[in-house]
Chain A
Amino acid sequence: MNSINQLPFKNVLKHPVRTGMLLLMTVFLSFSAFAGTLIIKSLQGGIDSLNSRLGADIIVVPRNAQQGLQSILLQGVPGYFYMDKSVTEKVSKVDGIEKMTSQYFLASIGANCCSMPIQIIGFDPDTDFSVKPWLEKSFNGTLADKQIIVGHKVNAFEGEQLRFYGVVCDVAGKLDETGTELDNAVYCNESTIKTLIKASEEMGVNVLTKADPDTLISSLMIKVKDGYDIQKVADYINVHVKRVEAVKTQSMIEGISDSLERLSFVVSALVATNWVVVLIMLLITFSMVINERKREFAILRVIGSSKRSLAKTVLFEAVIIGVVGGGLGVLLSSGAVTMFSKAIEKKLGLPLLLPSFEELMCYAGLTVLLCAVVAPVTAALSAYRASKVDAGTVLREE
């Protein structure tokens, strides 16, 4: 024993039951704080990512297909809907449109004809502004026919092949993670998606229409010119173009944001309640521990420990408990959130994107620091009582 710090360490190590109990409580604190933060931040990250990924101010879809669009984007339910391509020309005449591009949706199926059930999104390379900026990060060039780029979570890699409706496609690249359901999608050019739609029609699968794929599109992504009111442009389309629905992207995101806000409040309230309960439990436990240790403190006082030194010992023990419990809680909650992120995403119907490693480390550090501060605060009263132990009386009572 060469320093005062070893005394608290020894005490913590030599009393496994007491230490275990205190650690468990600190783990609860840390777990709830870190997991709560992680979930809220991941949801926020997912929504931000989705917002920037869509890249369009307005999405035009067939009337009544908005729900289908949200299912594809938010719940990862592969889907498809089509409208007549002539919509493109009608919408293009609307004042205030800076850029416009069409997209095509197709859902593959879990059958022999397809490698996996997945969302396939086709885009027009000549006019696209929504997909290409992201594609360019992982694929430098122009997508050839029957070439695909896969989302981050699709189990395929560059150089491999995937088969959809009997059509074999080469994987040309893999996108970075977005935390949205778009990570489960596959992207291809207009020509490829039309080939796939045709193949699916020929197989009698996913058939909504017998129309020629060349006459169909699923959605129109619109970028509105600066100075124009996006809502007004969307309203104009809704009024003047028949059988379509113009959805303001921001409104869709805001709808999610509202859900997120409510959810954040509930999660925060749960975390706060948990903290209050556990802090009271810690306070009581530290208090009980001090009663149990009166004799030990009396001995230390008698052999020369000052009151201040005794209080420091108790507080340092609490810091050790706080740091170790905080660290364990962070590890456990990281594991739990990572393990159940998909289930949380599905349950909440919201995209989830874990913060970056640096951000995670920062939150983890703050959580451990918080526990390292809170534990000695709850032990402060006990430390004060320890320092007030009347050594002579306690030892005489034995």
Chain B
Amino acid sequence: MSLLEVKNISKIYGSLKALDNVSLKVEKGDWLAIMGPSGSGKSTMMNIIGAMDKPTLGQVILDGKDISKESSKSLTQIRRDKIGLIFQQFHLVNYLTALENVMVAQYYHSIPDEKEAMEALERVGLADRAKHLPAQLSGGEQQRVCIARALINYPEIILADEPTGNLDEANENMVIDIFRQLHKDGSTLIVVTHDPEVAEVAQKTIVLEHGKVAREVINNEK
């Protein structure tokens, strides 16, 4: 059984089909990149896989359970327990320190554990910046805090939306290295990107165009 199976999903806004009959499968430990130009449906796909939205048609089966018809409350639970989200804009709470931003995810999941949150920051090389507010961190550092927050509850899937979109090359490489390590450790990664260099380090790339899967590419590196 696949960890994630998307079956013929469509997302329709009025007369616009943001996603049109898209299907894909992700096995445990996979690293999948979803590519496509602006307006191709990447973000809609990300929201549906990330349990932030529901498809108009089709099914999303996560860990054996169809989440496409779940209530808002259940989707919150799924996000909390099974998905670690990484964003292009980092989306950190600006009045909490790096450490607290990680711990707040722990709080909503179970019990905040400062030691464990600190270890997560160490994994992304930010132990010495734990007490800094987001405004005191560089873009790359904020993204690494965001990664630490996504990892803290041991999610089934790490879902990253343009994770390097706001980063310079050095920080981009650093983030990709972290993804490599996560993948090596057995994490399942889905990275939405428009950057071919980021996509090609994944095992497989799905290219979306006009809401449809245009092609699938198996990458050589992996």
Contacts and interface: CB of A to CB of B under 8 A. Distances in A.
A84 interface: no
B25 interface: no
A281 interface: no
A396 B91 CA distance: 11
Nearest to B47: A392
A11 B95 CA distance: 7
A165 to B, nearest CB: 71
Contacts of A2: 112, 114
A309 B87 CA distance: 23
Given A302-B79, A398-B89, A10 B95 contact: yes
Contacts of A298: 91
A325 B73 CA distance: 35
Interface residues of A, number: 26
B100 interface: yes
B108 interface: yes
Interface string B50-81: 10110000000000000000001100100111
B104 A302 contact: no
Interface string A282-302: 000000000000011011111
A299 B52 contact: no
Given A299-B91, A302-B79, A309 B52 contact: no
Contact of B80 (A14, A304, A307, A391): A304
A7 B104 contact: yes
A299 B93 contact: yes
Q: Which of A7, A295, A309 has the most CB of B within 10 A?
A: A7
B149 A303 contact: yes
B85 interface: yes
B103 interface: yes
Given A1-B100, A10-B96, A296-B93, A304 B112 contact: no
Given A11-B95, A304-B79, A306-B73, A396 B108 contact: no
A332 to B, nearest CB: 28
Interface string B77-115: 001110001010101111110001001110111001010
Contacts of B92: 299
Contacts of B87: 395
A302 B85 contact: yes
A161 to B, nearest CB: 65
Contacts of B149: 303
A307 B74 CA distance: 11
A295 B53 CA distance: 17
B89 A395 contact: yes
A395 B91 contact: yes
Contacts of B109: 304
Nearest to A392: B52
A289 B93 CA distance: 15
Contacts of B104: 1, 7, 300, 303
B8 interface: no
B43 interface: yes
A305 to B, nearest CB: 5
A7 B104 CA distance: 8
Interface residues of B, number: 31
A309 B91 contact: no
A93 interface: no
Q: Which of A1, A10, A15, A307 has the most CB of B within 10 A?
A: A1
Contacts of B95: 10-11, 14-15
B55 to A, nearest CB: 13
A1 B72 contact: no
B43 A396 contact: yes
Contact of A1 (B53, B73, B80, B112): B112
A4 interface: yes
Interface string A323-359: 0000000000000000000000000000000000000
A216 B72 CA distance: 92
Contacts of B107: 1, 4, 7
Contacts of B100: 1, 10
Contact of B93 (A300, A395, A396): A300
Q: Which of A4, A10, A303 has the most CB of B within 10 A?
A: A303
Contacts of A4: 107
Contacts of B85: 302-303
30 contacts: A1-B100, A1-B107, A1-B112, A2-B112, A10-B95, A10-B96, A11-B95, A14-B95, A296-B93, A298-B91, A300-B108, A301-B76, A302-B85, A303-B80, A304-B76, A304-B79, A304-B80, A304-B81, A304-B108, A304-B109, A305-B76, A305-B108, A306-B73, A306-B76, A307-B72, A392-B47, A392-B52, A392-B53, A395-B87, A395-B91
Given A2-B114, A302-B52, 18 more contacts: A1-B96, A1-B103, A7-B104, A7-B107, A10-B100, A296-B94, A299-B91, A299-B92, A302-B50, A303-B80, A304-B76, A304-B79, A304-B80, A304-B105, A304-B108, A307-B73, A392-B52, A398-B89
Interface of A: 1-2, 4, 7, 10-11, 14-15, 295-296, 298-307, 309, 391-392, 395-396, 398
Q: Which 4 pairs between the two chains have the least Cβ-Cβ distance?
A: A304-B80, A14-B95, A304-B108, A392-B52
